[in-house]
């Protein structure tokens, strides 16, 4: 295990080059180029705002900030997995002919989406500045552990899925369906308290939502970046996000982080076991 990580580390320049390649190839010959990376979340904001604020009349204040603070992380997660799943099968000419640690391929897909994520975060930060909502500095630091856990979780799944897909090519199609459903059960477009209340009515504690591992990350990011914690006015005023202290958020991240480490180790093990036959299966 340690040997594998060292092996991957020694090929970090290849990882950087593959990330660069992926980005270059994606925007080659397009007029707007990298701007597309920014236009994507902007269009998401427009569509979801029209549908949820105007058509469905939800009253979340500063909805774009709320949406982006969770959705950007989700996009990083979902697009990385989609990209990583086909990364070994899509690069069969490389896998068949040259030796390098194969984990580099799914990791490069994650890396490319990290670059998009960083660019898109500029859109989010700009929106926060422009609207004048500002930051609560006592909470913003939670972004760091949240992103670390997100990266670990994403990498673990990415490595796992890329290896599985070599043997069962249905994985990539199945993944599309799963990711769509997964997005809607994650409180990204709606607030945490909505499912929490429903669960409460059935006598289930709200923390059940945390079974979905990505929620610990997105809800922390929402709490850290989005300053409006209440929806409605007067007597109807109610909280949107869990009103627990920072430790609650940190504890959740810790649990998911620990699980991610375990999943990561298992994924690497599985990958290594399957890897020996990649060249034959492709």
Partner 1 sequence: MPNAIEVDHVSKRFRLSSERHSDLKGRIVNRRRAKTVIEEFWALKDVAFDVKEGSTVGLLGHNGSGKSTLLKLVGGILRPTSGEIRRRGRLASLLELGAGFHPELTGRENVYLNASILGLSRRDIDARFDDIVGFAEMERFIDEQVKHYSSGMYVRLGFSVAINVDPEILLIDEVLAVGDENFQRKCLDRIKRFQKDGVTIVFVTHAPDLVRQICDRAVVLDQGEMVIHGEPGEAVREFREHLLGRAAEVLDKVEPTKKHGELVRVTDVAIEYPEADRPYVRNGESATIRIAFDASEPVDDVVVAIALHATDGHVVFGQNTWGLGEKVRLEGSGEIAFELQSVSLLEGTYFLTVNVHTREGARMLDIREQLDHLDVLNHDGNYAWGVADIPVKLDLSKLGGGT
**Which region, judged by CB under 8 A, interacts with partner 1, from 22-30, 64-72, 152-160, 189-197?**
22-30
Instruction: Give the Cα separation of 191 and 173 in Å (integer).
Output: 29
Q: Is 41 helix (H, G, I), strand (E, B) or coil?
A: helix
User: Sign of dihedral through CA atoms 90, 96, 100, 101?
Assistant: positive
Binding status of residue 91 toward partner 1 by CB under 8 A: yes
Under rule CB under 8 A, residue 277 binds partner 1: yes
Per CB under 8 A, 4 contacts partner 1: no
Among 38, 53, 139, 169, binds partner 1 (CB under 8 A): 169
The answer to the question of residue 174 lying near partner 1 (CB under 8 A) is yes
Question: Based on the number of CB atoms within 10 Å of its own CB, is 34 exposed (0-12), middle (13-18) or buried (19 or more)?
Answer: middle
**Distance in angstroms (rounded) separating the CA atoms of residues 28 and 35:** 12
**Can you tell me which of 2, 3, 28, 234 binds partner 1, judged by CB under 8 A?**
28
Contact pick of 25, 129, 130, 140 for partner 1 (by CB under 8 A): 25
Q: Where are the beta strands (DSSP E) in 102-251?
A: 230-231, 238-239
* Per-residue contact flags (x/-) with partner 1 for residues 69 to 88, judged by CB under 8 A: --------------------
C-alpha dihedral over 263, 268, 271, 272, to 10 degrees?
Answer: -150
Interface contacts to partner 1, rule CB under 8 A = 11, 13-14, 17-18, 21, 24-25, 28-29, 91, 93-100, 166-171, 174, 275-277, 279-281
């Amino acid at each position: 295990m340690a040997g594998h990580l060292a092996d991957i580390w020694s090929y970090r320049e290849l990882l950087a080059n593959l990330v660069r390649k992926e980005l270059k190839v994606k925007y080659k010959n397009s007029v707007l180029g990298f701007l597309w990376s920014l236009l994507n979340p902007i269009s998401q904001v427009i569509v979801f705002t029209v549908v949820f604020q105007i058509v469905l009349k939800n009253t979340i204040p500063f909805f774009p900030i709320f949406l982006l603070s969770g959705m950007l992380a989700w996009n990083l997660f979902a697009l990385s997995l989609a990209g990583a799943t086909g990364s070994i099968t899509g690069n069969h000419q490389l896998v068949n002919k040259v030796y390098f640690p194969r984990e580099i391929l799914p990791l490069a897909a994650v890396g490319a989406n990290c670059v998009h994520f960083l660019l898109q975060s500029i859109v989010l930060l700009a929106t926060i500045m422009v609207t004048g909502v500002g930051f609560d500095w006592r909470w913003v630091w939670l972004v760091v552990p949240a992103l670390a856990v997100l990266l670990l979780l994403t990498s673990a799944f990415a490595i796992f899925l890329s290896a599985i897909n070599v043997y069962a090519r249905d994985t990539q199609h199945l993944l599309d369906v799963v990711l769509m459903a997964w997005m809607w059960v994650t409180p990204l477009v709606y607030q945490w308290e909505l499912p929490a209340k429903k669960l409460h009515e059935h006598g289930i504690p709200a923390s059940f939502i945390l079974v979905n591992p990505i929620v610990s990350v997105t809800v922390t990011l929402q709490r850290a970046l989005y300053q409006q914690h209440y929806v409605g006015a007067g007597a109807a005023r109610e909280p949107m996000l869990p009103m627990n202290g920072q430790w609650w958020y940190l504890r959740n991240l810790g649990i998911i982080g620990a699980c991610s480490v375990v999943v990561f180790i298992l994924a690497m093990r599985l990958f290594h076991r399957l890897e020996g036959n990649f060249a034959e299966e492709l």
